[in-house]
Structure formats: C-alpha cells, structure tokens
Structure 1
C-alpha cells in the first residue's frame, strides 16, 4: 500500500512511498482511508521523534474494507472515522473497533477526519464540568482545532460561551458564527468571573484563566501551545481561595472513544457541528500542508485527501 512515511531527509519529514499492508488483529477492522487531518503536535513533535519509514497519523476517515474477525464493529462498506496512535497516514489502517465511529449514509470524509483528536478532546473536556446549561464557559485558544469544537459543543450544551483568541478583530465574526457569545483578546479581558475553562494554550494564559474562575469554578488543561511555564501567584491555591479547581487531561484514558466518535460524526454529517477546515489538498501536497501547519498560516484544521495512485491532488 501507499503511505506517508517518515523521512527526515525531506522538508516535511515525510515522503509518499510504499509499505506493507497492515495485518488486523481479530478485534480490528481494516479501513480504506480516504482522508486524514493533521494535528499540530504531530507535525511539530511526533514526526521529528519517529524513526524513518514509520507510518504515523492519529486521525483518519474512510470505509471499512474488512470487518473485524471477532464480529465486533461495523460491517464492510460502512463509512467510519478512526482514532489511533499511528497508521492514519496510509491507504489502509487496522483499527480497534472500539476506536472507530460509524456514520450512516454519505458524509464528507475530510470533514469526518477532523473529529477524532480535536472533537473528542473538546467533548471529554466539557463533560468534566457536568451540565453546561446556564454556565459561563471560557475557551482559550478558541481558533484552534480543539477550541473551535469546544466553542460549538459548549453552546450546544446551553452554556454562555466566551472565546479567547489572540486576534479577536480578525476572528471574532468566525467564532460568533460557531456559537461564541463573547470574543476576547485573552482571559484577563473577561469582564466577569466564569464557571468553567477549557484551556488549550497553557503558560501565562492558564494562570490568567484560573484567576477568572468563580467560586467552585473548574479549569481543564487540555493543551500547552506556548511551552511556557505556569507561574501562579502566592495564595492561588490556599484554602478559602474560592474553592477553585484545575485538572489535567488526557484523551488516552483507557475508555474506548467509539460511541463519542459516532455521536460527533453524526453531528458533523448533519451540519450541527462545523469541521472548520482551513487547508485541504491531496496527500501529494504533504510538504505544503506541514509547512503551513507549522507556520500557523491558518486557523482550524488541515485535511489531506488520500487520493488513488492515478488521482490528482485535491483543492
């Protein structure tokens, strides 16, 4: 099969080449991948640390080519969205049936491929807050992949959504269209205290966002884009400091994400959630996509279409 292989001699660290087909375990479905999305952490850290000829890729969407031998998961021919630690940047992917979501009918595979890491992270982070109805929820880094899904899902759950971004003038209309009630230039600009924060940024913004929590407020730390330390002021965690909480987050918590991927995929397919694709092309343009992702030349998600050997790059 063809795949994007790690090759540290190329500008992107990737090259389109040939490798062996995966051999699914009994509990895995064999999926023919038609689209994948790039996460910033993959292109900024994972590629550089992986050995040559490795097939990476967390997010992918496609069609089940061969159902799992143990009878679990969807039948052959089903459109699916998949999540895994590797293997998404290839024509074929062996996926645990608990880590794929099925979609009835036609859906754009590029849109579905934006869901696994970004969508599932946003959904699980927001679930840590319990009911969102009537709560004031702040999302930092709101124009990123996780942030955009978090804004939409928080609004979907009945929250008053405050989107924090470094460019509110340029991104404000876009974020309001996704569901934000307010768009601010940073947590310190929030006019009132909030009940919950999904923090996708880290560093000083995490400290500022924590300081904006109301009594019994809750912050979930899902990202560390800045790579800067968090230096909290003296007394920030002392008893009596409004009983606020901050918790870490991991998507790999041992709970199969299949049901959540299915729910999210159904919402995207129905148009209830917007995938926020900002860059899209065939996987022959991987160098361009990685450079754009690293250069932060766009907000939202980058999608690579897995074109047939005789196909041409998409737009």
Structure 2
C-alpha cells in the first residue's frame, strides 16, 4: 500500500513509499484512511520520533474495514477517527480501539481528521489548568492547530483569553474564536495571568512565566520557536510570583476526549480551523507550507 514515510535525506523529511499492509492486533481495528491531518511538531521534530522508513501520522479518519478481534470498538463499516503516534499517513491504518472515536454522520471526515492530536492536546491542557472562569489565560502560538483549539476551549470555559501570535496576519479569526486580546511578536500581557498554554517556548516562555499570578500555572506544550528555554527566576521573584511551570504531554486513551470534541463540532460549538486542505499527492507542498508558517490552523490531506 502507499504511505508517506520519514526520509531524512529529502528536503522536508517526507516521501511516498510502497509498504506492507498493517496487521491489526486483537484490540485494533483496520481503517481505510480517507483523510489525515498534519501536525507541526511531528514534522519539525521527526528525527526524534521516527526511524527512517517509518510511517508518519498521528491523525487519520476513515472507515473500519476490519473490526477488532476481541470485540471491542466499532463495527466494520463505521466512520471513525483515530489518534496514535505513527501510521496515519497511509492507505490503511491499524489503531487500538481505545484511541478510536466514531464520527457522526453530519461531520466531514476531513474535519474529523483535524481534531485528535491538536484538539485533545488543547482540551487536556485547558482541563489541567482547573477552573478558568473569569481568569486571564495566555495562549502562545495561538495561530497554530493546538493554539486555535485552546483559544476556543478556554473561552468556552469562561476565561479571558489573550492570544499571542508571531505576526499580525496570523491573528485572523482569533477574536471570533473567543480571544479577548491579541498580542503579536514578543509582546506580553500588561497584567498578571492565571494560566499560560505555551506552544512556543524560548523567550516567550520565560517572559510569560514571570507574569504568573500567585497559584498560576504555565504548561509547556510545544517548542515552535526552537529557542533555548531560559527562565529568569529573579524577574519572577521581583514580581512576587508564586506560579509553577509544568511540561505537558497528552495522556492516552484518547477515544473519550476525541468523542467530546466531535460532539462540540457536531453542535457547532467548535471549529477545526482547517487552513489548508489538499489531495495527499500534494503532501510535499502542504508540509512546506506548515513548516514555513503559511498555514493558520490545521492542514488536512484527502486520500480519496
């Protein structure tokens, strides 16, 4: 079958290859993939996550062509979306039923494919902050996939959301998603914040940490800047800060959280923010656009 695999000798680390079809384990369904989404982190840091020849892809949606042998999960013919570390950018994917969610008929499979990795990351991060009702929450890298989900979910939880983006043009649509304030470049809020969902790292992380109010928390989610993370603790002390910094990573299983997000999508309360959608034959262009920050939100590839 055809798949997009990691190849460090290519310009962007991606190439098509013919590989063997996956063999599902007892608790895995076999999915005929119809759409897959790209995530900045899995491309920018592929050398840390994949071996040469391994199939890319955390997010993939499609139709179950073989149900799990142990009887768990959806039946053959069910429309689903899956979230796993690898294997999604291929014509067939084997996925554990604990990480597979049924896609309602009213939701396009391309939109569903945009949800799992970015959406679940944002959902779990907002939940980690605890109650944000009436509190100030800064989202850095707010124009990306995780960022745009985080802005929506934090705003719906009652937060005063401050969205930070690299350039003014990348702020398009964020107010409509729930951002009460928008900052660009290295600008920081002019008052303390309770929570920070940081997708950028580097100087922004350091500056934001110093702005935490007592009891506040900064979750380090991503490292889009690729700058060293240097904390100026004395600055935080001078501001009287008593906040904490936590590295953040999503926790499996993912099926329930993905289902919650699909339910919001079905109700019209969540927008997957697809900024680029193309047939997967044009995957290289999509990868380049994502890595050069020309995509706002998510990039989706259609396999059929």
TM-score after normalising by structure 2: 0.92
Determine the C-alpha separation between the residues in 1 that align with 2:216 and 2:93: 41
The two structures have a TM-score, normalised by structure 1, of 0.89
Equivalent position SS for 2:264: helix
Q: Tell me how many residue pairs correspond in the alignment.
A: 304
1:273 matched to which residue of 2? 270
Cα contact 2:212–2:242 (8 A) shared by 1 = no
Whether 1:292 and 2:289 are equivalent positions in the alignment is: yes
**CA positional deviation for 1:96:** 0.6
Question: Could you say what secondary structure the match of 1:235 adopts?
Answer: helix
| Aligned 8 A contact 1:187 1:212 in 2 | no
- Within-5 A mapping of 1:1-315: 1-8=1-8, 10-46=10-46, 50-168=50-168, 170-185=169-184, 188-235=187-234, 241-251=240-250, 253=251, 255-307=252-304
- Partners of 1:71 and 1:141 lie apart in 2 by 41
1:188–1:209 Cα contact (<8 Å) kept: no
Query: Cα distance, 1:58 vs. partner?
Result: 1.0
- Report deviation, 1:51: 4.2
CA contact (8 A) 1:31 1:95 kept: yes
User: 2:102 and 2:67 mapped to 1: Cα distance?
Assistant: 12
Residues 188 and 212, structure 1, Cα contact 8 Å, conserved in 2: no
Deviations for 1:26-50, whole angstroms, at most 9, x for unmatched residues?
Answer: 1111111111111112222316974
Q: Structure 2 vs 1, CA of residues 175 and 229 (structure 1 numbering), >3 Å: closer, same or farther?
A: same
Distance, in Å, in 2 between the alignment partners of 1:186 and 1:11 is: 28
Contact 1:81 1:265 (C-alpha < 8 Å) held by counterparts: no
Secondary structure of the residue aligned to 2:214 is strand
Looking at structure 1, the residues matched to 201 and 6 of structure 2 have their Cα atoms a distance apart, in angstroms, of: 29
- Report the Cα offset of residue 188 of structure 1: 4.3
Alignment gaps of 5+ in structure 2: none
Deviation track 1:208-230 (CA, whole Å, cap 9, x = no partner) reads 11122112111111011112122
- In structure 1, C-alpha distance between the alignment counterparts of 2:225 and 2:118, rounded to whole Å: 18
Structure 2 CA distance for partners of 1:114 and 1:196, relative to 1, 3 Å: same
Inter-CA distance 54–232: structure 2 relative to 1 (3 Å threshold): closer
Please give the alpha-carbon distance, in whole angstroms, between the structure 1 residues aligned to 2:49 and 2:195: 35
| Structure 1 gaps, min length 5 | 308-315
Deviation at 1:132, TM superposition (A): 2.0
